[in-house]
Structure 1
Amino acid sequence: MSLIPNALRRLGALLCFAVVLPAHAAVPDKVLIVVSGEGRDQGKTRPGYEFDELSQAWLIFKANGLKVDVASPQGGAVEADTYNAQEPFNAALLGDAEAMRTLAATRSTRDVKAADYAAIYVVGGKGAMFDLPRDNALASLLAEAYMKGAVIGAVCHGPAALVDVKLGDGTMLVAGKAMTGFTNEEEAVFGKRWAKEFPWQLEDALRGRGARWQEAPLMMAKVVVDGRLVTGQNPYSTPGVADAIVRATGRTPVVRTPWRDELTMALAARARSGDVRGAADALAQDRERYHVDLLGMLGYYQAQAAGGNDDLRHALTLMQLAMPYMAQPQLKLGAAEAHLRLGEREQAKSLVQQVLAGKPDMAEAKALLQRIDG
C-alpha cells in the first residue's frame, strides 16, 4: 500500500485541528518586567534594581506596541538604586504618569499568569541576587511561561532569577543554553560591597547548572540569544536585550535613535576592533553625541582588570580617546600606569608630570613618579 494516502490523511487531520484552535491562542501583546523589591535608601542600606535597565527596555517595548506590566516578589512599591534622572531614557519614563503608577504598585509574582505574556524580562541590579532566586513563585512563573512559548530575557544580575528554574521534565532551564550575565571579572571590580553576601557568584552558578557561558571584555555590551532565551552581560547591554526580545516575539523592532551610552559603547567597540583613527575622528566631530566620561572610565577600569598586554593596550586606547575632553587627573594617572606596565616609561613620566604641573602636591602622582624613576 502506498504511504501517500496515509500521509495525506494525517495532514488533513492536522489541518482540521488547526481550524478549530481557539481565538485566544494568539500571541499576547504584553511583556512582564520583573524587578527586585530588595532595595532601600536608593541602594545605600540595601541594593535594589537598576532604573536604567528598566527604563530603556520599557521604552523599547512600548515603541514596538507591547504593553508592560511590572511584578516583584512581594508586590507594591519598589526602590531603585541611585540613578541619573536627567538621562533621556530615565526622564522619558519618569514623565510617563501611567508608567509611574504601574511602578508604584507592582504586582506580586504570585498573582500573575504566564499565559498573559509574550515575554518576561528580568531587570538586574544587585538586589536581584537576593530576593529573585528565592522567589518560588517567580521560578514557577518563568518555567511555565517558557514551556508555553514565551520569550525569557534578563540582563546584568537579572539572570540570577533563572539559576534554579526547572522545567516540567525536571531539567534546568539554563542547562545547555548559551548565556551571559554580570561576570566574575565585573563583580571583582564593581561588586565589592555586596558580593560577599551573595548566595553565589552569578557566573559560577550558571556555569554550574550547565549554561554555556559567553562574555565580552569588562563592561562592554554583549547580548546572547539562544532561541527564546535572551540574556545581556551588564547595564550597557540593555537596549540590545530589549530589541532581541522584541525580535524573538516575532516582531521587527522599530527604527530608533540610539541613546548616548549606546553610541559610546559602539565607539569603544570600534576602537577596540582597530579603527582608532575613525573613533577619534567621530568623537572630535560631534563630542556631544558621546558620553566621554563613560569612555574614559571604561578604559580606566579595563586597565585595572587587564590580564595581558593586548587587553592593557585596548584599555589605554580608550583612555587616550577620552583624555583630550576629560580634565580629571586620575585618568592621566591611569594611562600613565598602563604605559608603565607596558614598559613605556617616558610616556608614563610625561603624563605624571602633566598632572603634577597642575597639582604639585598630589601624593598619588608623586608616588607614581618615584616608581617610574626607580
Structure 2
Amino acid sequence: MTSHLLHRAVLAFSLLLAALPALAADKILIVVSSEGRDQGKTRPGFEMDEFAQAYLIFRDNGYVVDVASPAGGRVEADKYDAKEPFNARLLTDPDASKQLAATRRTSEVRAAEYAAVYVVGGKGAMFDLPVDTALQKVLADIYERGGVVAAVCHGPASLVEVRLGNGAWLVDGKRMTGFSNEEEAVFGKRWAKQYRFQLEDALKARGAQWQEAALMMPKLVVDGRLITGQNPYSTPAVAEAIVTTLGRRPKARTPWRDERTLGLVQRLLSGDSDAARKALADDRDGYHVQLIGLLGYYQLQSTQDPAANRDALAIMQLAAPYMPEPQLRLGMAEAHLRLGDRERARSLVGEVLESHPDMAEAKQLLQRIGS
C-alpha cells in the first residue's frame, strides 16, 4: 500500500513537472512604468492604448497575462480616450482592472514563469524602467531561457542597460526600433530635457541596428526573439508578432480605427491614391480624419526633404475635404511653397485669410510667398 501511494505521488509530481513548461508557454508578462501621476500632468506614466491593445490580443489568443511595474501596486496611465473600443473593452475586464490596481513588483517576478515579456511605452518608461535592475534581470533571463522580449514606443528604454550572461548588451547587433529622435523632437518637448538619454541614441550606442519609419507611421522590427515597435501605432503588430513568434497563428480580428487609418495612409503613399480617397469618402466614420491631417502636418514640420514634403502634402490633401481647420491649409500652403508652387501656396493662404483675416501666421506665410 505504501509503495502504491509512493508510486502515485511520484507520478503526480512527474505530471506537475511536465505541465510547467506548458504553463510558462501560456503566460506573458506586461511591464509598465510606475511613474505616472495625475494622468501624466505632473509626472508621465504609461500609454493605455499600448497596454490595452496588446493585453486584448494576448488574451484573445489564449494567453494568461500578468502585469508588473518597478514599484508594484497601482499604476496610472497618461490621459487617454476611454471611448476608444479597445480601451472601453479593457475597462470592463475585471482581471485587467485588478492587475493595474495591484501590479506585481518586478523584483518579485520569476522569469521562468513566462514565455514572453512585453514592455509598454509612454514617457514614464524613460525614467524608472532603465534604472530598474530587477527588470534588467527579468528581461535577460527570459531572453536567455529562449523566451521573447518585446517593447514598443519608449518601452525599449528598458533594454538600454540589459546585459546577457556573457556580459554582452542584449541589443548589441540586433535590428530594432523605438520612439525616434525625430518623433521625440516633435512630441517630447515637455519631458525630454529630463531624460537620462535620448532613446535612439542610447540604443545605437549599445550596438543596436536602428530602423525607423516616417514620423508616427507604424514600424515593426523582428530580430529573432527580440521584437520592437516604433510608436503607439505599432502596438497591434508587435503584439501579434509576439503571438506568432511563440508559435501560434493570431486569431482574425477587425482592425481598430487607428490601424485602419494608418493602413489607409500607407495605401495612399504606395500609389493607390484614388482608392484611398474613395475609401475615406465612403466610410468617414471608419477612419480617424483628424489623425490623418495631423500626421501630414507634423511630418511636414519635421523634414525639409522634397520627397518627404510631397508625402506630407499628399496626406494632408487626403484629410482636407473633411478637416476645415485653417492650420491644415497653412500646412498645405507651406508644402506647396517648398515644392516651388507659389501660386497654389498663395491661393491656400488667401482662403485662410478670407475666414480668418487677422491670423498672424497666415499673414507671415503670405509675406514669405511674396507677390
Secondary structure of 2:166's aligned partner:
coil
Matched residues in 1 for 2:44 and 2:100: separation?
17
1:73 corresponds to which residue? 70
Matched residues in 2 for 1:50 and 1:74: separation?
17
Mean CA deviation greater in 87-96 or 362-371: 362-371
Matched residues in 2 for 1:307 and 1:352: separation?
20
Which residue identity lines up with residue 214 of structure 1 in the other structure? Q
Matched residues in 2 for 1:189 and 1:361: separation?
27
Alignment RMSD? 1.3
Q: 2:257 aligns with which of 256, 260, 266?
A: 260
Matched, 1:276 2:267: no
Pairwise CA distance, 1:373: 2.1
1:312 corresponds to which residue? 309
Matched, 1:132 2:129: yes
Matched residues in 2 for 1:71 and 1:202: separation?
22
Relative to the length of structure 1, the TM-score reads 0.93
Deviations 1:52-81 (A, max 9, x none): 000000010011001111000010011111
Secondary structure of 1:321's aligned partner:
helix
1:302 corresponds to which residue? 299
Matched, 1:226 2:223: yes
Relative to the length of structure 2, the TM-score reads 0.94
Matched residues in 2 for 1:363 and 1:184: separation?
30
1:103 corresponds to which residue? 100
Matched, 1:346 2:346: no
Matched residues in 2 for 1:228 and 1:159: separation?
14
Which residue identity lines up with residue 214 of structure 2 in the other structure? P
Aligned-residue sequence identity (percent) comes to 66
Pairwise CA distance, 1:23: 4.1
Q: 1:25 aligns with which of 2, 21, 24?
A: 21
Which residue identity lines up with residue 144 of structure 1 in the other structure? D
Query: Which residues of 2 match residues 7-26 of structure 1 at below 5 A?
Result: 22-26=18-22
Give 4+ residue runs of structure 1 displaced > 3 Å after superposition: none
Which residue identity lines up with residue 140 of structure 2 in the other structure? A
Pairwise CA distance, 1:265: 0.5
Deviations 1:21-48 (A, max 9, x none): 8442335211110000011111111111
Matched residues in 1 for 2:211 and 2:95: separation?
37
1:9 corresponds to which residue? none
Q: 2:39 aligns with which of 38, 42, 62?
A: 42
Matched residues in 1 for 2:189 and 2:290: separation?
22
Deviations 1:299-344 (A, max 9, x none): 0000011231000000000000000000111111111111111111
Q: 1:122 aligns with which of 113, 119, 124?
A: 119
Query: Which residues of 2 match residues 149-188 of structure 1 at below 5 A?
Result: 149-188=146-185
Which residue identity lines up with residue 331 of structure 1 in the other structure? L
Matched, 1:367 2:364: yes
Structure 1: stretches of 5+ with no match in the other structure: 1-20
Matched residues in 1 for 2:94 and 2:346: separation?
54
Matched residues in 2 for 1:360 and 1:176: separation?
55
